[in-house]
Structure 1
Amino acid sequence: MNQLKTGALLNYATIFLTNVIGLLMTPFILSYLGKDDYGIFITIGALVGTISLFDFGLNNTVVRFVAKYRAENDKKGEENFLATVMLIYLFISIIVIASGLIFYQYIDGYFTKMSVDQLRTAKSMFIILIFNLAIGLPGQAYTGICYGYESFIFPKTLNIIKYVLRSLSVVGLLVLGGNAIGLVIVDTIFNMLLIGITMFFVFKKLKVKIKIHELSKRFVTEIFSYSTWVFLFALVGIFQWKAGHWVLGKISVAGVLAVYGIGITLGTYYGAFSTAVSSVFLPRATQMSVSKSSGEELTDMMIKIGRISFLVLMYILGGFLFFGRQFVTLWVGGELGEDGSYQSWLIALMIMVAYTLPLVQGFGNSILEAQSKLRFKAILYLSFMILGTALGAYFAIDYGAVGMMTGTVISWLIVQNVMNFYYHKVIKINIPRFFKMLFNKSLLAVLISFAIAYLINFIPGYSWINFVAKCVIYSVVFFTVIYSLGMWKYEQQLVITAFKPVLNFVRRNG
């Protein structure tokens, strides 16, 4: 149990560190590399990240099957499974290298808007990252083994240490005159060190053995039958977050890639909150599914969770809507320019708006997972993400990075409306009642808060101090209005319970 609790805590610590350090490192890297090289850096990373799909979801499969064999106390089965997976990974690494070498031949013809020097940088980075990926994919299996053994503390702690040391190394490298190629070399070195240390832990501490006992077609089929849907959702993620880089890399100059990448970065921070919140409710959804809770009972739970998520998200969205442009300008405006920072803010805002409804209805996804009904969602999302990429490519011809994101956002909005129909008809969640209760009291309070935030934005000044002052005033106004006008009684009680330790401390020391 200590492993589970500490592992969960380390998971949230990782999310916090990733977001905070990411916010600090992005303008630093951008200022040293420049807009063009930074655009190349993130775009080549996105292209190589696409090739990582050859993992086929095997990492998640390792976790599941190792846990299964441990529960059955089948050491021979575990050894045989791991040996089979490693052979599959060896084949995958060969495919990764072969695919990388083939695409390498066409880089010049693909990135037609890049200069000769930029192409040279892109090709060097691509080769290094392909090598990194060929090693990294099978290396991930060792972290999966740790999770299958419910040994969470070591790999998660190691990952935090790696992230901090990697960030410090990047700072040192750039200060000493390093470039984008140096950054991917640093990433490769840390990746190899992480894999090596994890392997030592797996073999020496966990006493894991990898040995082939038999190799049957049925066994390989069983492995891939589980990983197929994991792979499909990974493919959806590729079209959501990386496909825009493919398109813009073909038709735009490197600077546009930087603008798009910054917008995506900010938008995915909002999405990270979605994953952190919705995943917490999977056990509750599973319990309700096992006990065969009615559609109205599921609706009640979705309303309770959705309202809390909605109020928190409206706080974040309102702050970014009214003060986000000032933040982005202060954050990276010196490197991107006024128009570039505005477009990055707009892209991030579009992502946040489109992501809000899926996040508010995150419990619905937990129900689908608990009831093993993810197939419809996976096929629906993949179909419309492909359509959104094609639509974005059309808009990008005239509107660049913003046009690219417009196509993706349109597909998101269509998908979520279809999912609401599915929730209502198949899962039996009362969607009309959900929205009616979601907006009960809360919508008026949010609109009042947004109106006041609009007025706060007229406070003169454009410095960091001015930005922080606006955010503090907005926070006080938002939470006061929401608590007074927008919350139900039980929600107010949740707030009181959450802050009770703080209030008691103030009383004792006041």
Structure 2
Amino acid sequence: MKPRVLSQLKKGALLNYVTIFLTNVIGLLMTPFILNHLGKNEYGIYLTVGALVGTISLLDFGLNNTTIRFVAKYKAEKDKKGLENFLATTMILYSIISTIVIILGAIFYNYIDSYFTKMTPEEIEIARVIFVLLIFNLAIGLPGGSLTGMCYGYEAFVFPKALNIVRYLMRCLTIVAVLSFGGKAIALVVIETVFNILIISITAYYVFKKLKIRIKLHEFSVKFVKHIFSYSTWIFVFALVALFQWKAGHWVLGRVCTPEVLTIYGIGILLGTYYGAFSTAISSVFLPRATQMSVGNATGEELTSMMIKIGRISFIILMYILIAFIFLGRQFVNLWVGGELGEEGSYESWIIALMIMVAYTLPLIQGFGNSILEAKNKLSFKAILYLSFMIIGTATGAFLAKPYGAIGMMSGSISGWLIVQNVMNFYYHKTIGLNIIRFFKELLNKTCLALLIVVGLSYFVNYIPGDGWVNFVIKGTTYTVAYGLIIYFLGMIDFEKELFKNSFKSVLNKVNKK
């Protein structure tokens, strides 16, 4: 691999982790600030209309990821004409998609008041303005996103990722300034629109002036269009799955509940997605390893061994977060957004986030399994299974939402997740050849006893007298030290202890060099 490309990959990976860290930490700080300035009703409208427009973004049909693949292919083949023609074809497709987005937006605009039945006339007007702005964002954002795909296809990772970080920081600063001077939800969407236009313009300059990419239609072929969509089909299906996982609840609750309930649900979802980011950052690194092992015809037992190694590391990290959230999470959410949501609202958000974390834990621990499926080109079964049960889960949640509100909606949704993961374990075992029984035995080896001790200790830590942030920090610090010591001496195997020691030594060496 060329040094420049290797450098781009390393720097791109580093910027990925920086992005995850920033979005999680700054997101935690920004959420109560935004909620406090908008109020829970307007914040709920902002979240729900965003989720609704996010549904229309599915019309991308996976073309963005497809762009990365085809650009890389034509570049590797040094087929300049083929690349120009592919990009011109996709831009025609994006023009058609953007036109459809605007038409669908215009149609739904006339039904906003009849869809959001629990909103006041003033709230409906806010929803209308936000909806129009977000539809415009989507119409320009879909083709604009393909520019980033072109950068990735050219293995130019640093510029778009660095630009995304700058955009995130500048956007946050602008939001703080605008809300401090009295801005509301509409102002947030205007900020988003301005930044979208700027980022698309800057990326376009980089793509066409620096990378020297040209777009030219040499031949329009329906057969070629079919070929493009045949690749993007499963990407589209997984986008549908994510939609039902994270956004479908907003559609249902937007129809039957007040904006306040939408805010409670949205806060719970937000915390649940932060939980997943920690493990995904680990498992995503191992896709190349899964591909190498699959290409090298690794046995099921060899793949299982790798899955156990990665799974145990994820498990130790996730259990630290989950146990802390079980015992200290209610206090945290109450301190974090309780002033805006009230005690009952923050309690419901905590329950929703906890439900997501519990249901999400096993899929995250077995994230390497998904890498194996991708490497073996066997994602179709999982895609269809997930989509089917996400739809069933959403329907169940819709049935429970009327009597039980946001908690009822989430109960239905996670029922689909839990069923799917159990079915997937049979699939891994019978079809892929992974030894799932061995996986669970070795996953719980030593960690089971250590975690039981941690749970018992955490129960008493929770009773340290006092309240407020100082009390929470004392509890959190006590829990963290106890968890670290118990897991290290009782829960880790030799490989994990060595990994921890080497990481610690590496950090010390870097500090000493400085």
TM-score, normalising length: structure 2:
0.97
Other-structure match for 2:398: 393
Q: Could you tell me which amino acid in structure 2 is paired with residue 285 of structure 1?
A: A
Q: SS of 2:434's equivalent? A: coil
Alpha-carbon offset, residue 103 of structure 1: 0.8
Alpha-carbon offset, residue 30 of structure 1: 0.2
Q: Could you tell me which amino acid in structure 2 is paired with residue 397 of structure 1?
A: K
Other-structure match for 1:102: 107
Q: Distance in 2 between matches of 1:115 and 1:184?
A: 20
Q: Distance in 1 between matches of 2:144 and 2:508?
A: 48
Alpha-carbon offset, residue 505 of structure 1: 8.2
Q: SS of 1:281's equivalent? A: helix
Q: Distance in 2 between matches of 1:296 and 1:131?
A: 51
Other-structure match for 1:46: 51
The equivalent position to 1:465 in structure 2, one of 463, 467, 470, is 470
Alpha-carbon offset, residue 299 of structure 1: 1.2
Per-residue CA shift, 1:262-317, capped at 9, x if unaligned?
Answer: 00000001122232222111111111111111111111111111111111110011
Percent of paired sites with the same residue: 67
Contact 2:101–2:139, Cα closer than 8 Å, also in 1: yes
Other-structure match for 1:335: 340
Moved over 3 A (4+): 501-509
Answering whether residue 74 of structure 2 is matched by residue 88 of structure 1, we say no
Return closer, same or farther for 1:72/1:256 CA change in 2, 3 Å cut-off. Answer: same
Answering whether residue 421 of structure 2 is matched by residue 416 of structure 1, we say yes
Q: SS of 2:262's equivalent? A: helix
Return closer, same or farther for 1:298/1:121 CA change in 2, 3 Å cut-off. Answer: same
Other-structure match for 1:140: 145
Q: Could you tell me which amino acid in structure 2 is paired with residue 249 of structure 1?
A: G
Return closer, same or farther for 1:36/1:74 CA change in 2, 3 Å cut-off. Answer: same
Q: Could you tell me which amino acid in structure 1 is paired with residue 412 of structure 2?
A: G
Alpha-carbon offset, residue 39 of structure 1: 0.2
Q: Distance in 2 between matches of 1:130 and 1:456?
A: 49
Further displaced range: 146-155 or 497-506: 497-506
Return closer, same or farther for 1:436/1:206 CA change in 2, 3 Å cut-off. Answer: same
Structure 1 unpaired stretches of 5+: none
| Pairs within 5 Å for 1:463-502 | 463-502=468-507
Other-structure match for 2:73: 68
Other-structure match for 2:309: 304
The equivalent position to 1:30 in structure 2, one of 21, 35, 44, is 35
Other-structure match for 2:25: 20
Answering whether residue 349 of structure 2 is matched by residue 349 of structure 1, we say no
Q: Distance in 2 between matches of 1:505 and 1:370?
A: 35
Alpha-carbon offset, residue 488 of structure 1: 1.1
Other-structure match for 1:4: 9
Other-structure match for 1:161: 166
The equivalent position to 1:322 in structure 2, one of 327, 338, 358, is 327
Further displaced range: 462-471 or 372-381: 462-471
Contact 2:279–2:318, Cα closer than 8 Å, also in 1: no
Alpha-carbon offset, residue 447 of structure 1: 1.0
Per-residue CA shift, 1:97-126, capped at 9, x if unaligned?
Answer: 000111111111110000000000001100
The equivalent position to 1:289 in structure 2, one of 294, 316, 321, is 294
Q: Distance in 1 between matches of 2:304 and 2:99?
A: 48
Answering whether residue 243 of structure 2 is matched by residue 226 of structure 1, we say no
Q: Distance in 2 between matches of 1:506 and 1:463?
A: 35
Q: Distance in 1 between matches of 2:341 and 2:459?
A: 26
Q: SS of 2:465's equivalent? A: coil
Say how many residue pairs are matched.
Answer: 509
Q: Could you tell me which amino acid in structure 2 is paired with residue 496 of structure 1?
A: K
Answering whether residue 264 of structure 2 is matched by residue 262 of structure 1, we say no
| Pairs within 5 Å for 1:187-198 | 187-198=192-203
TM-score, normalising length: structure 1:
0.98
Answering whether residue 387 of structure 2 is matched by residue 382 of structure 1, we say yes
Return closer, same or farther for 1:266/1:4 CA change in 2, 3 Å cut-off. Answer: same
